[in-house]
């Protein structure tokens, strides 16, 4: 496995609408996607494009959302995870597990329509890391 590009920075928020306004007004964001629901992942999502990566705004879809706990601890939201691209998610998972990392669950389809998986924050000094299979790669 080799570390690919930083695909996005995940930012948890209690309100995507309010966060969009913040990025638009304070940072002049213009490339703002339409919010959409990912019930299978327990989140509502909205992408804000930067020239070299994206901000992934995520809001709980419901109380069972995996980010509900994070927002209880951080009511205003905040930086939640970073997502790096990998060529082959199965290879990445196997290598991480062989090296003793805690891979959370099985790969599933994420917000970009390709397989994703998360690695526990304790393996990265307190940072939740998401790996995403690079779109359009032959596997």
Ligand X SMILES: CC[C@H](C(=O)O)C(=O)SCCNC(=O)CCNC(=O)[C@H](O)C(C)(C)COP(=O)(O)OP(=O)(O)OC[C@H]1O[C@@H](n2cnc3c(N)ncnc32)[C@H](O)[C@@H]1OP(=O)(O)O
Catalytic residues: 130
Contacts of 69 (CB under 8 A, 6+ apart): none
28: left (phi over 0), alpha (psi -120 to 50) or beta: left
Tell me which H or E stretch contains 80.
strand 78-86
Pairing of strands 6-12, 36-38: unpaired
Shortest Å, Cβ 44 to ligand X? 10
Establish if 129 lies at the interface with ligand X (CB under 6 A): no
Least Cβ distance, residue 4 to ligand X (angstroms): 14
Judged by CB under 6 A, the residue of 4, 33, 35, 121 near ligand X is: 121
Binding-site partner at residue 43 among Co ion, ligand X, none, CB < 5 to 8 Å by type: ligand X
Cα 34 to Cα 60: distance, rounded to the nearest angstrom? 16
- Eight-class DSSP state of 94: H
Give the separation between CA 73 and CA 36, rounded to whole angstroms.
Answer: 25
Q: Does 59 bind Co ion (CB under 5 A)?
A: no
| Interaction between residue 69 and ligand X (CB under 6 A) | yes
Among 9, 104, 123, 134, interactor with ligand X by CB under 6 A: 104
Q: Which residues bind ligand X (CB under 6 A)?
A: 10, 38, 41, 43, 56, 58, 66-67, 69-70, 80-81, 83, 104, 110-111, 116, 118, 120-121, 126-128, 130
- Positions touching Co ion (CB under 5 A) are 10, 56, 83, 130
């Amino acid at each position: 496995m080799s570390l690919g590009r930083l695909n996005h920075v995940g930012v948890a928020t209690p309100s995507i609408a309010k966060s969009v306004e913040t990025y638009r007004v304070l940072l002049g964001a213009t490339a703002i996607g339409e919010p959409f629901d990912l019930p299978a992942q327990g989140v509502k999502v909205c992408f804000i494009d930067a020239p070299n990566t994206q901000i992934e705004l995520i809001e709980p879809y419901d109380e069972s959302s995996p980010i509900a706990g994070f927002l209880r601890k951080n009511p205003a939201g905040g930086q939640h995870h970073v997502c790096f691209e990998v060529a082959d998610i199965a290879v990445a998972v196997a290598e991480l597990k062989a090296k003793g990392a805690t891979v959370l669950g099985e790969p599933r389809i994420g917000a970009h329509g390709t397989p994703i998986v998360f690695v526990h924050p304790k393996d990265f000094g307190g940072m939740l890391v998401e790996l995403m299979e690079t779109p359009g790669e032959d596997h």
